[in-house]
Amino acid sequence: MARFYSLSIEPTMFGAFVLNRSWGRLGTWGQSRLEYFPDLSAARARKEQLTCELARGRDADRHHKPLKFRHLTGSHPNAVSQPPSNDAG
């Protein structure tokens, strides 16, 4: 299922900042949540926290287990024959 997730920090008219979180299925309006912060550094810290949680494959509200990935080898069409080497020369 194709989904989207968006995080943006926007200023308010009163000198504060809002973190706008939007998510849902592609082709729909989805849902959104606004979190208000007194300064930009607090908003950025919360955005970084949410970004890390999403990168680990977690939903910020439900704490699902992280996603597991398999390394493909052998005759699979997307298989990697040799892992990339770290040799500089």
pTM for the whole structure: 0.58
Residue-level pLDDT at 47: 94
28-34 own/partner pairs: CB under 8 Å, 24+ apart = 30/4
Residue-level pLDDT at 80: 47
Residue-level pLDDT at 56: 82
Residue-level pLDDT at 85: 55
Closest CA to 43 of 70, 75, 7, 69: 7
DSSP states of the chain: --EEEEEEEEE-TTS-EEEEEEEEETTS--EEEEEEESSHHHHHHHHHHHHHHHHTT--TTT-PPPP------TT-TT--SSPPP----
- Mean pLDDT, to the nearest integer, of 6-20? 94
pLDDT in tens, 76-86: 454 444 555 55
pLDDT in tens, 37-66: 999 999 999 999 999 988 887 554 455 555
